[in-house]
Copies of this chain bind each other. A is one copy, B any other.
Amino acid sequence: MFNSLHEECGVFGIFGTKTSQIADYVYFGLHALQHRGQESCGIVINSDGVFSHYKGDGLVSEIFSAEKLKALGQGNMALGHVRYSTTGGKDINNIQPLVIRHIKGNMALAHNGNLTNSEEIRKKIELSGGIFHGTSDTEAIAYSLVANRLTSKSTQEAVTKTMSEIKGAYSCVIITATSMIAFRDPNGFRPLCFGKTADGAYCVASESCALDAVGAEFVRDIAPGEIIAFSKEGIRSVTSYCPAKEKTSMCVFEFIYFARPDSVIDGVSVHHARINAGRFLAKEHPVEADTVIGVPDSGIDAAIGYARESGIPYGVGFIKNKYTGRSFIQPSQTQRENTVKLKLNAIKESVNGKRVVMVDDSIVRGTTCAGIIRLLRNAGAKEVHLRISSPPFKHPCYFGTDIDSKENLIACKYNSTDQIAEVVGADSLGYLSVDAIHKIAFGADVCFCDSCFTGSYPIPVPDNHTKNKYDTKIGDF
Protein backbone atom coordinates (compact mmCIF):
# COMPACT_ATOMS: atom_id res chain seq x y z
CA MET A 1 0.00 0.00 0.00
CA PHE A 2 1.27 3.44 -0.68
CA ASN A 3 0.52 7.13 -0.21
CA SER A 4 -2.56 6.75 1.92
CA LEU A 5 -1.53 7.10 5.54
CA HIS A 6 1.05 9.49 6.84
CA GLU A 7 3.21 9.69 9.87
CA GLU A 8 3.94 13.28 10.72
CA CYS A 9 7.56 13.43 11.77
CA GLY A 10 10.96 12.07 12.60
CA VAL A 11 13.51 13.63 14.93
CA PHE A 12 17.24 13.19 15.35
CA GLY A 13 19.53 14.92 17.85
CA ILE A 14 23.18 14.52 18.71
CA PHE A 15 25.24 15.67 21.68
CA GLY A 16 29.01 15.22 21.59
CA THR A 17 32.33 16.94 21.35
CA LYS A 18 32.89 19.73 18.87
CA THR A 19 33.38 18.54 15.30
CA SER A 20 32.97 19.93 11.83
CA GLN A 21 31.06 16.81 10.85
CA ILE A 22 28.20 17.24 13.27
CA ALA A 23 25.83 18.16 10.43
CA ASP A 24 26.73 14.99 8.53
CA TYR A 25 25.51 12.87 11.41
CA VAL A 26 22.15 14.57 11.38
CA TYR A 27 21.98 14.32 7.59
CA PHE A 28 22.46 10.54 7.71
CA GLY A 29 20.18 10.18 10.70
CA LEU A 30 17.39 12.09 8.97
CA HIS A 31 17.97 10.18 5.74
CA ALA A 32 17.26 6.97 7.67
CA LEU A 33 14.07 8.55 9.06
CA GLN A 34 12.93 9.98 5.74
CA HIS A 35 10.00 7.51 5.61
CA ARG A 36 8.49 9.40 8.58
CA GLY A 37 8.14 12.66 6.63
CA GLN A 38 8.99 13.64 3.08
CA GLU A 39 7.68 17.15 2.74
CA SER A 40 10.22 19.29 4.53
CA CYS A 41 13.28 19.05 6.72
CA GLY A 42 15.72 21.12 8.68
CA ILE A 43 18.95 20.95 10.63
CA VAL A 44 20.24 23.25 13.36
CA ILE A 45 23.80 23.23 14.68
CA ASN A 46 24.84 24.45 18.10
CA SER A 47 28.37 25.76 18.27
CA ASP A 48 28.90 26.70 21.93
CA GLY A 49 25.55 28.43 22.10
CA VAL A 50 25.58 30.04 18.65
CA PHE A 51 22.98 28.37 16.45
CA SER A 52 23.06 28.09 12.67
CA HIS A 53 20.27 26.42 10.77
CA TYR A 54 18.88 25.61 7.35
CA LYS A 55 15.57 24.17 6.24
CA GLY A 56 13.40 23.73 3.19
CA ASP A 57 10.60 21.89 1.42
CA GLY A 58 11.81 18.56 0.08
CA LEU A 59 13.72 15.40 0.90
CA VAL A 60 16.84 15.56 3.04
CA SER A 61 18.97 14.76 -0.02
CA GLU A 62 17.26 17.52 -2.00
CA ILE A 63 17.53 20.25 0.61
CA PHE A 64 21.04 19.58 1.89
CA SER A 65 24.00 19.61 -0.48
CA ALA A 66 27.57 19.05 0.70
CA GLU A 67 28.06 22.83 0.60
CA LYS A 68 24.94 23.49 2.66
CA LEU A 69 26.09 21.00 5.30
CA LYS A 70 29.54 22.51 5.37
CA ALA A 71 28.11 26.01 5.66
CA LEU A 72 26.33 25.00 8.86
CA GLY A 73 29.77 24.81 10.42
CA GLN A 74 31.13 22.87 13.32
CA GLY A 75 29.36 22.27 16.57
CA ASN A 76 29.01 20.00 19.56
CA MET A 77 25.26 19.54 19.31
CA ALA A 78 22.81 19.35 16.45
CA LEU A 79 19.15 18.65 15.87
CA GLY A 80 17.19 17.65 12.79
CA HIS A 81 13.65 16.97 11.73
CA VAL A 82 11.76 15.48 8.80
CA ARG A 83 8.15 16.48 8.41
CA TYR A 84 4.94 15.51 6.69
CA SER A 85 2.67 18.51 7.02
CA THR A 86 -0.90 17.97 8.07
CA THR A 87 -1.84 20.83 10.33
CA GLY A 88 -1.12 24.22 8.85
CA GLY A 89 -0.37 23.18 5.34
CA LYS A 90 2.84 24.05 3.65
CA ASP A 91 3.62 27.18 5.64
CA ILE A 92 7.38 27.58 5.67
CA ASN A 93 7.19 28.75 9.26
CA ASN A 94 6.12 25.26 10.27
CA ILE A 95 9.29 23.54 9.13
CA GLN A 96 11.18 22.21 12.11
CA PRO A 97 13.36 22.31 14.13
CA LEU A 98 11.95 25.53 15.52
CA VAL A 99 14.82 27.81 16.43
CA ILE A 100 14.16 30.28 19.24
CA ARG A 101 16.62 33.14 19.68
CA HIS A 102 15.73 34.29 23.17
CA ILE A 103 17.36 36.69 25.58
CA LYS A 104 17.72 33.76 27.98
CA GLY A 105 19.64 31.81 25.36
CA ASN A 106 19.02 30.03 22.13
CA MET A 107 16.84 26.94 21.95
CA ALA A 108 15.82 24.58 19.17
CA LEU A 109 12.94 22.15 19.29
CA ALA A 110 11.94 19.14 17.18
CA HIS A 111 8.66 17.37 17.76
CA ASN A 112 6.95 14.20 16.56
CA GLY A 113 3.30 13.82 17.51
CA ASN A 114 0.21 15.92 17.92
CA LEU A 115 -1.12 17.80 20.94
CA THR A 116 -4.76 17.49 21.91
CA ASN A 117 -4.88 20.82 23.72
CA SER A 118 -2.85 23.00 21.38
CA GLU A 119 -5.78 25.24 20.54
CA GLU A 120 -6.35 26.08 24.16
CA ILE A 121 -2.69 26.79 24.72
CA ARG A 122 -2.54 28.91 21.61
CA LYS A 123 -5.61 30.87 22.56
CA LYS A 124 -4.22 31.60 26.00
CA ILE A 125 -0.88 32.76 24.64
CA GLU A 126 -2.36 34.92 21.92
CA LEU A 127 -4.66 36.60 24.37
CA SER A 128 -1.69 37.47 26.52
CA GLY A 129 0.09 39.12 23.58
CA GLY A 130 2.01 36.24 22.06
CA ILE A 131 2.43 35.85 18.31
CA PHE A 132 2.38 32.53 16.53
CA HIS A 133 4.30 32.46 13.30
CA GLY A 134 3.27 29.11 12.03
CA THR A 135 0.27 26.93 12.58
CA SER A 136 1.85 23.83 14.09
CA ASP A 137 1.40 22.37 17.56
CA THR A 138 5.11 22.54 18.03
CA GLU A 139 5.05 26.28 18.50
CA ALA A 140 2.67 25.82 21.45
CA ILE A 141 5.26 23.57 23.09
CA ALA A 142 7.93 26.19 22.43
CA TYR A 143 5.84 28.93 24.03
CA SER A 144 5.17 26.78 27.04
CA LEU A 145 8.87 26.03 27.39
CA VAL A 146 9.81 29.70 27.15
CA ALA A 147 7.19 30.82 29.64
CA ASN A 148 8.20 28.11 32.09
CA ARG A 149 11.88 28.76 31.59
CA LEU A 150 11.41 32.32 32.83
CA THR A 151 10.09 31.02 36.14
CA SER A 152 12.40 28.02 36.50
CA LYS A 153 15.90 27.46 37.77
CA SER A 154 16.82 25.17 34.89
CA THR A 155 15.70 24.12 31.46
CA GLN A 156 14.98 20.68 32.86
CA GLU A 157 12.59 22.19 35.37
CA ALA A 158 10.96 24.12 32.52
CA VAL A 159 10.49 20.87 30.61
CA THR A 160 8.92 19.27 33.65
CA LYS A 161 6.46 22.16 34.02
CA THR A 162 5.72 22.13 30.30
CA MET A 163 4.84 18.44 30.43
CA SER A 164 2.13 19.24 32.93
CA GLU A 165 0.60 21.70 30.49
CA ILE A 166 0.73 19.97 27.14
CA LYS A 167 -1.54 16.98 26.41
CA GLY A 168 -1.41 14.41 23.65
CA ALA A 169 1.39 12.82 21.69
CA TYR A 170 4.87 14.26 21.80
CA SER A 171 8.28 12.76 21.35
CA CYS A 172 10.49 15.84 21.55
CA VAL A 173 14.14 16.77 21.51
CA ILE A 174 15.45 20.22 22.39
CA ILE A 175 18.94 21.61 22.39
CA THR A 176 20.01 24.64 24.41
CA ALA A 177 23.41 26.31 24.67
CA THR A 178 24.70 23.55 26.94
CA SER A 179 22.40 20.54 26.85
CA MET A 180 20.22 18.24 24.78
CA ILE A 181 16.97 17.16 26.41
CA ALA A 182 14.57 14.51 25.10
CA PHE A 183 11.10 13.92 26.49
CA ARG A 184 8.24 11.60 25.57
CA ASP A 185 4.61 11.88 26.52
CA PRO A 186 3.39 9.55 29.32
CA ASN A 187 1.31 7.49 26.88
CA GLY A 188 4.37 6.95 24.72
CA PHE A 189 2.30 7.41 21.56
CA ARG A 190 5.36 7.86 19.34
CA PRO A 191 8.70 6.06 19.65
CA LEU A 192 11.94 7.65 20.86
CA CYS A 193 15.25 6.04 21.70
CA PHE A 194 18.90 6.89 22.13
CA GLY A 195 22.30 5.44 21.38
CA LYS A 196 25.97 6.19 21.61
CA THR A 197 28.58 6.51 18.86
CA ALA A 198 32.08 5.10 19.00
CA ASP A 199 33.28 8.66 19.67
CA GLY A 200 31.10 8.92 22.76
CA ALA A 201 28.43 11.18 21.30
CA TYR A 202 24.81 10.56 22.29
CA CYS A 203 22.15 10.38 19.62
CA VAL A 204 18.39 10.58 20.15
CA ALA A 205 16.22 9.31 17.32
CA SER A 206 12.62 8.47 16.50
CA GLU A 207 13.69 4.99 15.43
CA SER A 208 16.71 2.79 16.03
CA CYS A 209 17.39 2.51 12.29
CA ALA A 210 18.75 6.07 12.43
CA LEU A 211 21.21 5.03 15.11
CA ASP A 212 22.38 2.20 12.82
CA ALA A 213 22.81 4.67 9.98
CA VAL A 214 25.27 6.81 11.93
CA GLY A 215 27.05 3.85 13.47
CA ALA A 216 25.70 4.51 16.97
CA GLU A 217 25.02 1.62 19.29
CA PHE A 218 21.46 1.42 20.56
CA VAL A 219 21.35 2.10 24.32
CA ARG A 220 17.66 1.99 25.16
CA ASP A 221 14.22 3.42 24.45
CA ILE A 222 13.21 6.58 26.23
CA ALA A 223 10.32 5.49 28.42
CA PRO A 224 6.82 6.94 28.15
CA GLY A 225 6.80 10.00 30.40
CA GLU A 226 10.58 10.12 30.73
CA ILE A 227 12.73 13.25 30.51
CA ILE A 228 16.36 12.60 29.72
CA ALA A 229 19.02 15.31 29.66
CA PHE A 230 22.45 15.05 28.05
CA SER A 231 25.05 17.54 29.24
CA LYS A 232 28.69 17.78 30.24
CA GLU A 233 27.66 16.31 33.57
CA GLY A 234 26.45 13.19 31.79
CA ILE A 235 22.98 11.72 31.39
CA ARG A 236 20.18 12.49 33.81
CA SER A 237 16.80 10.82 33.69
CA VAL A 238 13.61 12.17 35.27
CA THR A 239 10.90 9.55 35.56
CA SER A 240 8.34 11.35 37.66
CA TYR A 241 5.79 11.30 34.83
CA CYS A 242 6.44 7.66 33.88
CA PRO A 243 3.24 5.64 34.34
CA ALA A 244 2.75 1.95 34.87
CA LYS A 245 2.96 -0.05 31.65
CA GLU A 246 -0.83 -0.57 31.58
CA LYS A 247 -1.33 3.17 31.31
CA THR A 248 0.82 3.46 28.18
CA SER A 249 -0.63 3.43 24.69
CA MET A 250 2.00 3.32 21.99
CA CYS A 251 0.62 3.67 18.43
CA VAL A 252 0.37 0.09 17.16
CA PHE A 253 0.39 1.34 13.59
CA GLU A 254 4.06 2.19 14.01
CA PHE A 255 4.63 -1.59 13.97
CA ILE A 256 2.20 -2.33 11.18
CA TYR A 257 3.14 0.38 8.73
CA PHE A 258 5.01 3.52 9.77
CA ALA A 259 8.31 2.37 11.22
CA ARG A 260 11.09 0.80 9.23
CA PRO A 261 11.25 -2.99 9.59
CA ASP A 262 14.88 -2.83 10.71
CA SER A 263 13.95 -0.68 13.71
CA VAL A 264 13.42 -2.07 17.19
CA ILE A 265 10.77 -0.11 19.09
CA ASP A 266 10.08 -0.40 22.80
CA GLY A 267 11.83 -3.73 22.85
CA VAL A 268 10.31 -5.38 19.79
CA SER A 269 11.58 -5.74 16.20
CA VAL A 270 9.22 -4.11 13.74
CA HIS A 271 10.01 -6.78 11.16
CA HIS A 272 9.22 -9.47 13.68
CA ALA A 273 5.93 -7.82 14.63
CA ARG A 274 4.91 -7.78 10.97
CA ILE A 275 5.84 -11.43 10.50
CA ASN A 276 3.69 -12.11 13.59
CA ALA A 277 0.82 -10.10 12.14
CA GLY A 278 0.99 -12.30 9.06
CA ARG A 279 1.01 -15.45 11.17
CA PHE A 280 -2.05 -14.35 13.16
CA LEU A 281 -3.75 -13.42 9.92
CA ALA A 282 -3.16 -16.93 8.60
CA LYS A 283 -4.66 -18.38 11.74
CA GLU A 284 -7.68 -16.08 11.75
CA HIS A 285 -8.36 -16.17 8.00
CA PRO A 286 -7.01 -19.35 6.43
CA VAL A 287 -7.71 -20.11 2.78
CA GLU A 288 -6.72 -22.74 0.22
CA ALA A 289 -4.30 -21.14 -2.23
CA ASP A 290 -1.25 -21.73 -4.39
CA THR A 291 0.87 -18.73 -3.44
CA VAL A 292 1.11 -15.90 -0.90
CA ILE A 293 2.31 -12.54 -2.13
CA GLY A 294 2.73 -9.19 -0.41
CA VAL A 295 1.99 -5.71 -1.68
CA PRO A 296 5.33 -3.86 -1.71
CA ASP A 297 6.83 -2.57 0.37
CA SER A 298 4.94 -2.75 3.64
CA GLY A 299 2.91 -5.90 2.89
CA ILE A 300 5.95 -8.11 2.23
CA ASP A 301 6.79 -9.05 5.83
CA ALA A 302 3.24 -9.99 6.77
CA ALA A 303 3.02 -12.04 3.57
CA ILE A 304 6.09 -14.01 4.60
CA GLY A 305 4.52 -14.54 8.04
CA TYR A 306 1.29 -15.74 6.41
CA ALA A 307 3.24 -18.10 4.16
CA ARG A 308 5.22 -19.53 7.03
CA GLU A 309 2.14 -20.12 9.17
CA SER A 310 -0.03 -21.49 6.37
CA GLY A 311 2.59 -23.48 4.52
CA ILE A 312 1.50 -21.94 1.23
CA PRO A 313 4.61 -20.99 -0.81
CA TYR A 314 5.71 -17.38 -0.66
CA GLY A 315 6.13 -15.68 -4.00
CA VAL A 316 6.98 -12.31 -5.50
CA GLY A 317 3.83 -10.93 -7.05
CA PHE A 318 4.73 -7.37 -7.92
CA ILE A 319 7.52 -5.11 -9.07
CA LYS A 320 7.41 -1.55 -7.79
CA ASN A 321 8.94 1.12 -9.99
CA LYS A 322 11.85 2.59 -8.07
CA TYR A 323 11.91 5.83 -10.04
CA THR A 324 8.52 7.23 -9.10
CA GLY A 325 9.80 10.35 -7.34
CA ARG A 326 7.92 13.46 -6.33
CA SER A 327 8.18 14.95 -9.80
CA PHE A 328 6.55 11.94 -11.46
CA ILE A 329 3.38 13.08 -13.18
CA GLN A 330 0.15 11.40 -14.23
CA PRO A 331 -1.07 13.27 -17.28
CA SER A 332 -4.71 13.55 -18.11
CA GLN A 333 -5.55 10.66 -20.36
CA THR A 334 -4.46 8.01 -17.93
CA GLN A 335 -6.59 9.19 -15.08
CA ARG A 336 -9.53 7.19 -16.22
CA GLU A 337 -7.42 4.08 -16.39
CA ASN A 338 -5.57 2.08 -13.79
CA THR A 339 -2.96 4.52 -12.50
CA VAL A 340 -1.65 1.90 -10.12
CA LYS A 341 0.11 0.20 -13.02
CA LEU A 342 2.45 3.15 -13.48
CA LYS A 343 4.01 2.38 -10.14
CA LEU A 344 3.34 -1.34 -9.76
CA ASN A 345 3.33 -4.25 -12.16
CA ALA A 346 2.32 -7.84 -11.55
CA ILE A 347 4.70 -10.66 -12.34
CA LYS A 348 2.58 -12.87 -14.56
CA GLU A 349 4.85 -15.87 -14.00
CA SER A 350 4.08 -15.75 -10.26
CA VAL A 351 0.29 -15.54 -10.39
CA ASN A 352 -0.98 -16.75 -13.75
CA GLY A 353 -3.54 -19.51 -13.24
CA LYS A 354 -3.06 -19.47 -9.50
CA ARG A 355 -5.13 -18.97 -6.39
CA VAL A 356 -3.37 -16.04 -4.77
CA VAL A 357 -3.34 -14.76 -1.18
CA MET A 358 -2.48 -11.08 -1.39
CA VAL A 359 -1.37 -9.50 1.90
CA ASP A 360 -1.38 -5.77 2.55
CA ASP A 361 -1.13 -3.73 5.74
CA SER A 362 -4.32 -1.72 5.44
CA ILE A 363 -7.10 -0.45 3.18
CA VAL A 364 -7.97 3.24 3.30
CA ARG A 365 -10.23 4.31 0.44
CA GLY A 366 -10.04 1.04 -1.42
CA THR A 367 -9.30 2.48 -4.85
CA THR A 368 -5.60 1.64 -4.81
CA CYS A 369 -6.38 -1.81 -3.49
CA ALA A 370 -8.90 -2.39 -6.25
CA GLY A 371 -6.33 -1.29 -8.83
CA ILE A 372 -3.78 -3.74 -7.45
CA ILE A 373 -6.21 -6.62 -7.51
CA ARG A 374 -7.08 -5.73 -11.09
CA LEU A 375 -3.38 -6.06 -11.95
CA LEU A 376 -3.45 -9.61 -10.58
CA ARG A 377 -6.61 -10.51 -12.50
CA ASN A 378 -5.10 -9.15 -15.73
CA ALA A 379 -1.98 -11.19 -15.05
CA GLY A 380 -4.12 -14.32 -14.90
CA ALA A 381 -4.73 -14.86 -11.18
CA LYS A 382 -7.58 -17.38 -10.77
CA GLU A 383 -8.56 -16.27 -7.27
CA VAL A 384 -7.45 -13.31 -5.17
CA HIS A 385 -7.84 -13.61 -1.42
CA LEU A 386 -7.10 -10.31 0.27
CA ARG A 387 -5.64 -10.39 3.78
CA ILE A 388 -5.06 -7.19 5.72
CA SER A 389 -2.58 -7.20 8.60
CA SER A 390 -4.58 -4.69 10.66
CA PRO A 391 -8.23 -4.16 11.66
CA PRO A 392 -10.43 -1.79 9.62
CA PHE A 393 -9.81 1.95 10.05
CA LYS A 394 -12.89 3.69 11.30
CA HIS A 395 -11.89 6.59 13.52
CA PRO A 396 -9.72 9.69 13.33
CA CYS A 397 -6.36 9.79 15.06
CA TYR A 398 -5.56 12.75 17.31
CA PHE A 399 -2.02 11.65 18.04
CA GLY A 400 -0.08 12.34 14.90
CA THR A 401 -1.36 10.04 12.16
CA ASP A 402 -3.04 11.62 9.19
CA ILE A 403 -6.00 9.35 8.41
CA ASP A 404 -8.40 10.23 5.66
CA SER A 405 -11.75 11.72 6.68
CA LYS A 406 -14.54 9.31 7.59
CA GLU A 407 -16.53 9.78 4.42
CA ASN A 408 -13.58 8.47 2.44
CA LEU A 409 -12.77 5.43 4.60
CA ILE A 410 -14.03 2.28 2.93
CA ALA A 411 -14.58 0.61 6.32
CA CYS A 412 -16.96 3.42 7.26
CA LYS A 413 -18.82 3.34 3.97
CA TYR A 414 -19.60 -0.38 4.02
CA ASN A 415 -20.84 -2.51 6.87
CA SER A 416 -19.44 -5.92 6.06
CA THR A 417 -16.12 -7.27 4.90
CA ASP A 418 -18.02 -9.12 2.17
CA GLN A 419 -19.19 -5.82 0.74
CA ILE A 420 -15.69 -4.40 0.89
CA ALA A 421 -14.31 -7.53 -0.77
CA GLU A 422 -16.79 -7.06 -3.58
CA VAL A 423 -15.93 -3.37 -4.00
CA VAL A 424 -12.22 -4.03 -4.26
CA GLY A 425 -12.74 -7.14 -6.38
CA ALA A 426 -11.38 -9.77 -4.01
CA ASP A 427 -12.72 -13.33 -3.76
CA SER A 428 -12.42 -13.11 -0.01
CA LEU A 429 -11.19 -10.60 2.55
CA GLY A 430 -9.88 -10.99 6.06
CA TYR A 431 -8.77 -8.25 8.45
CA LEU A 432 -6.59 -8.96 11.45
CA SER A 433 -8.61 -8.77 14.68
CA VAL A 434 -8.16 -6.06 17.31
CA ASP A 435 -7.28 -8.80 19.78
CA ALA A 436 -4.47 -10.06 17.59
CA ILE A 437 -3.09 -6.59 17.01
CA HIS A 438 -2.27 -6.32 20.69
CA LYS A 439 -0.26 -9.54 20.46
CA ILE A 440 1.94 -8.87 17.41
CA ALA A 441 4.55 -7.05 19.47
CA PHE A 442 4.47 -9.59 22.29
CA GLY A 443 6.98 -8.76 25.01
CA ALA A 444 7.05 -5.02 24.32
CA ASP A 445 7.64 -2.61 27.18
CA VAL A 446 4.44 -0.78 26.34
CA CYS A 447 0.74 -1.30 25.73
CA PHE A 448 -0.91 -0.13 22.54
CA CYS A 449 -3.37 2.44 21.30
CA ASP A 450 -6.02 0.94 19.01
CA SER A 451 -8.33 3.93 18.86
CA CYS A 452 -8.30 4.32 15.07
CA PHE A 453 -9.86 0.82 14.94
CA THR A 454 -12.04 0.98 18.05
CA GLY A 455 -12.80 4.67 18.64
CA SER A 456 -11.83 4.17 22.27
CA TYR A 457 -9.25 6.89 22.97
CA PRO A 458 -6.75 6.52 25.82
CA ILE A 459 -6.98 10.22 26.73
CA PRO A 460 -9.62 12.90 26.12
CA VAL A 461 -9.66 14.23 22.57
CA PRO A 462 -10.99 17.53 21.14
CA ASP A 463 -14.61 17.69 20.02
CA ASN A 464 -13.96 18.67 16.47
CA HIS A 465 -11.30 17.32 14.17
CA THR A 466 -10.31 19.96 11.66
CA LYS A 467 -7.22 20.30 9.58
CA ASN A 468 -5.55 23.61 8.83
CA LYS A 469 -7.81 25.32 11.29
CA TYR A 470 -5.80 28.54 11.37
CA ASP A 471 -5.96 29.14 7.67
CA THR A 472 -9.61 29.99 7.54
CA LYS A 473 -9.93 32.14 10.61
CA ILE A 474 -11.61 35.45 9.97
CA GLY A 475 -11.76 38.34 12.36
CA ASP A 476 -10.83 41.95 12.49
CA PHE A 477 -7.44 42.24 14.10
Whether B476 pairs with A50 at a CB distance below 8 angstroms is no
Instruction: Given A143-B129, A327-B62, answer yes or no on A342-B28 (Cβ-Cβ < 8 Å).
Output: yes
Q: How far is the CA of A143 from the CA of B61 in the complex (A)?
A: 37
Having A176-B477, A215-B337, A264-B348, one finds 12 other A-B pairs with CB under 8 Å, namely A24-B331, A31-B328, A59-B323, A101-B135, A101-B470, A101-B471, A103-B127, A104-B477, A133-B133, A177-B477, A261-B347, A300-B316
With a cutoff of 8 Å between Cβ atoms, the chain B residues found around residue A165 in the complex are: none
Report the separation of the CA atoms of residues A324 and B349 in the bound assembly, to the nearest whole angstrom: 30
Assess whether A212 is interfacial by the CB under 8 Å rule: yes
Does A368 interact with chain B (Cβ within 8 Å)?
A: no
Give chain B residues whose Cβ lies under 8 Å from the Cβ of A300: 316
Chain A binding surface SS class = mixed
A143 & B131 in contact (Cβ 8 Å cutoff): yes
A477 to B101, CA, bound (A): 9
Chain B nearest Cβ from A183, distance in angstroms: 15
Query: Are A473 and B345 CB-contacts (below 8 A) given A59-B323, A61-B328?
Result: no
**A318 → chain B, closest Cβ, in Å?**
8
Residues of chain A in range 122-171 having any CB-CB distance to chain B below 8 Å: 122-123, 125-133, 135, 139, 142-143, 146-147, 149-150, 155
In Å, the complex CA distance between A61 and B347 comes to 24
Q: Within 8 Å CB of A346, what residues of B?
A: 262
Question: What's the least CB distance linking A431 to chain B, in Å?
Answer: 23
Q: Does A420 contact B (CB under 8 A)?
A: no
Contact, CB under 8 Å: A304 / B316: yes
Size bin of chain A's contact surface: 35 or more
CB–CB B472/A50 < 8 A: yes
Chain B residues with Cβ below 8 Å from A476 are 49, 104-105, 155, 176-179
Query: Contact residues of A with B, CB < 8 Å?
Result: 21, 24, 27-28, 31-32, 34-35, 38, 48-50, 55, 59-62, 64-66, 69, 92-93, 100-107, 122-123, 125-133, 135, 139, 142-143, 146-147, 149-150, 155, 176-179, 209, 212-213, 215, 260-262, 264, 269, 271-272, 297, 300-301, 304, 308, 313-316, 318-319, 321-325, 327-329, 331-334, 337-338, 341-342, 345-350, 470-477
CB distance from A14 to the nearest CB of B (A): 13
User: Do A327 and B474 touch (CB < 8 A)?
Assistant: no
Residues of chain B within 8 A of A64, CB atoms compared = 329
Pairs A-B, 10 closest by C-beta atoms = A105-B475, A105-B477, A49-B474, A269-B349, A176-B477, A129-B147, A61-B328, A34-B323, A107-B477, A103-B126
What are the residues of chain B within 8 A of A308 when measuring CB–CB?
313
- Do B24 and A334 touch (CB < 8 A)? yes
